[in-house]
Amino acid sequence: MNASSHHNGSFWFDELGIDPQPDPEPLPARTDVAIVGGGYTGLWTAYYLKRAEPGLDVTVFEADVAGFGASGRNGGWCMGAAWGTESLLANPETRSRGLALQRALFDTVDEVGRVTQAENIDCHFARGGTLRIATAPFVVERHRREIDELHALGFTEHDFRWLDADTTRTRLNVPRNHGAIHAAHCAAIQPARLVRGLADTVRRLGVTILEGTPVTAIRPGRVDTARGAVAAGRILRATEAYTASLTGHRRTLLPIYSKMVVTAPLPDALWQEIGLGNRETFGDDRRMVIYGQRTLDGRLAFGGRAGYEFGSRRRRTLPPDDPDFDGIVRTLRGLVPQLAEVPITHRWGGVLGVPRHWRPCVQFDRRSGLGWAGGYVGEGVAAANLAARMLTDLVLERDSALTALPWVDDVPPRWEPEPLRWLGVRAIRAIGARADWIELNRQRPSRFWGGLFQRLTG
Ligand SMILES: Cc1cc2nc3c(=O)[nH]c(=O)nc-3n(C[C@H](O)[C@H](O)[C@H](O)COP(=O)(O)OP(=O)(O)OC[C@H]3O[C@@H](n4cnc5c(N)ncnc54)[C@H](O)[C@@H]3O)c2cc1C
């Protein structure tokens, strides 16, 4: 990969066999709807707008190639969950809106499955649910309490189920297993296949995707790009962790790295031993989130949250000798020791967007014609589909159940200027890492550091 490459560095682009080059079409003089960003948020929004109003002229502006960002690099958990929902459910005043949001998120996993099937997007969608492993005895009580609380809210055994250690072993055979929560509303996908398939689909519907066209500024009625200006009736920002590239948005969303590795394909005998026969995704209770999936071609893809770089710096791709990768491989092999001798073939990373209030937002202002969706805190594979449907309804001025959901107009405050931003993120990371260390090594709940982390991250 050289400096001019538009490969995003991920295994997923290699699995697809693509090294895409932008083919920038001429800029139109005007468009009805301009969407900035060719990831899930932008492309799903283009999809639903065009399906609802085929006559609408929709143009997607993408700095690189469709799927260059997080949508083409992620862990492929298409999950019916989103950051911030838990606190809505915990508060009696917001509970009913939280329940509506949670159910909409569950439905979103089905919606992604339905549309990808209808549009022939072969994204390796497998609805095996997700396993949250209790890696220490004390976690069992916490998980069981959590399930009881969820059931008391009306969720069923199908939605969230406790699996004892023996049953868990039949799903995922790892030594630090004291049981697991199985959450049904999650599918494993090949993320780049979804985003590239969506790009093909919307092109077929008549959407123009202008790849290789970085937008420099947005103002009512006008999109400024590195190649010239375009007049637009409505302009929707879908730039997530890259939002700081737009004039005036340096402090809107914080780019946090998440980094991944994938193993070589495992022999069938090893999969027999490890499990994940339904391609369940898996993780544990760590605050420094980890996530794994069995790929359709029999590899194990695994990742973890990493850091923030001063000044919201975003690197296009990461070098394979980035020191965080060793830690991710160690964590993976610690969790699944059967992988000790299995080679790692790819290492890559990307940035996800974090808003100051740590929950997604969807906004559209009818007067200015400006809108945006994002702030998924690294849980955007399914959430971007839901946000796109919400944004579509707002743009088309349709009052719906979706426009009543809590993300609408829940606009985050701006992040602090540097160096406060950098210091704050470092402090939050250190607190989360401390809580994880205590729980993993002392095998007891970290009430102080864990509680502090939760308060700081919503
Ligand atoms: C390594 C990693 C693992 C993850 N794992 C998961 C997971 O398993 N499950 C989950 O739910 N979420 C996961 N996430 C988060 C998820 O991938 C994102 O929330 C989601 O893809 C966001 O989609 P998006 O379209 O909003 O943003 P992106 O996919 O980042 O798309 C934004 C696009 O905008 C373009 N762009 C930016 N600025 C400009 C500009 N000025 N002009 C034109 N174009 C611009 C970018 O090039 C990019 O293509 C992960 C993220 C990472 C990085």
Q: Is any ligand 1 atom within 6 A of the Cβ of residue 74?
A: yes
Residue type, 43: L
Which neighbouring-strand residues pair with 123? none
Q: What is the DSSP letter of 275?
A: B
Q: What is the pLDDT of residue 165?
A: 97
Residue type, 89: L
Asked if 64 and 22 count as a contact pair (C-beta separation under 8 A), the reply is: yes
Q: Is any ligand 1 atom within 6 A of the Cβ of residue 384?
A: yes
Strands 290-294 and 300-305: antiparallel
**Cα atoms found within 13 Å of the Cα of residue 132, Cβ hemisphere only:** 21
And the tokens for 434?
């401390």
Q: In angstroms, rounded to a whole number, what is the distance separating the alpha carbons of residues 88 and 83?
A: 10
Q: What is the pLDDT of residue 375?
A: 98
Q: What is the pLDDT of residue 2?
A: 61
Percent of all residues in the chain with a pLDDT value above 90, rounded to a whole number: 88
Give residue-wise pLDDT tens across range 199-227: 999 999 999 999 999 999 999 999 999 99
Three-state DSSP class for 228? strand
| Mutation probe of ligand 1 site: the residue of 352, 359, 363 with most atoms within 8 A of C-beta | 352
Q: Give, using CA atoms, the residue closest to atom 35 of ligand 1.
A: 37
Q: Which of 115, 40, 114, 117 is nearest to 72 (CA)?
A: 40
Alpha helices of 227-362 — where are they, by DSSP H?
A: 268-274, 324-335
Residue type, 410: D
Q: How many helices (H) and strands (E) does the chain have?
A: 12, 18
Give residue-wise pLDDT tens across range 423-445: 998 999 899 989 989 888 888 99
Domain ranges of the chain: 418-458
| Mutation probe of ligand 1 site: the residue of 43, 219, 239 with most atoms within 8 A of C-beta | 239
And the tokens for 273?
């031993």
Q: In angstroms, rounded to a whole number, what is the distance separating the alpha carbons of residues 238 and 244?
A: 12
Q: In angstroms, rounded to a whole number, what is the distance separating the alpha carbons of residues 13 and 73?
A: 8
And the tokens for 40?
């899930």
Q: Is any ligand 1 atom within 6 A of the Cβ of residue 73?
A: yes
Q: Is any ligand 1 atom within 6 A of the Cβ of residue 41?
A: yes
Q: Is any ligand 1 atom within 6 A of the Cβ of residue 70?
A: yes
Task: Write out the DSSP string of 113-152.
Answer: HHHHHHTT-----B---EEEE--SHHHHHHHHHHHHHHHH
Percent of all residues in the chain with a pLDDT value above 70, rounded to a whole number: 99
Q: In angstroms, rounded to a whole number, what is the distance separating the alpha carbons of residues 173 and 195?
A: 32
User: Which are the contacts of 325, defined by CB distance < 8 A and separation ≥ 6?
Assistant: 259, 261, 344, 347
Q: Which of 73, 457, 366 is nearest to 241 (CA)?
A: 73
Average pLDDT value for residue range 67-93: 96
Average pLDDT value for residue range 162-181: 97
Give residue-wise pLDDT tens across range 4-23: 788 999 999 999 998 899 97
Model confidence at 29, pLDDT cuts 50, 70, 90, reads very high
And the tokens for 361?
């937002």
Q: Is any ligand 1 atom within 6 A of the Cβ of residue 199?
A: no
Q: In angstroms, rounded to a whole number, what is the distance separating the alpha carbons of residues 27 and 25?
A: 6
CA 262–ligand 1 middle distance (angstroms):
19
CA 240–ligand 1 middle distance (angstroms):
6
Asked if 163 and 234 count as a contact pair (C-beta separation under 8 A), the reply is: no
| Atom from ligand 1 closest to the CA of residue 43 | 25
| Atom from ligand 1 closest to the CA of residue 37 | 34
CA 179–ligand 1 middle distance (angstroms):
32
Q: Is any ligand 1 atom within 6 A of the Cβ of residue 293?
A: no
- Which residue is it, tokens 């946000």? 387
Q: What is the pLDDT of residue 1?
A: 60
Q: What is the pLDDT of residue 456?
A: 85
- ipTM, two decimals, is 0.99
And the tokens for 75?
């862990």
Give residue-wise pLDDT tens across range 223-273: 999 999 999 999 999 999 999 999 999 999 999 999 999 999 999 999 999
Q: In angstroms, rounded to a whole number, what is the distance separating the alpha carbons of residues 203 and 240?
A: 22
Q: What torsion do the CA atoms of 179, 296, 344, 172 make, to the nearest 10 degrees? A: 10
Q: What is the pLDDT of residue 23?
A: 79
Q: What is the pLDDT of residue 202?
A: 98
Q: In angstroms, rounded to a whole number, what is the distance separating the alpha carbons of residues 357 and 84?
A: 9
CA 339–ligand 1 middle distance (angstroms):
29
Q: What is the pLDDT of residue 3?
A: 61
Q: Is any ligand 1 atom within 6 A of the Cβ of residue 211?
A: no
CA 52–ligand 1 middle distance (angstroms):
24
90 φ, ψ (degrees, to nearest 5) = -75, -25
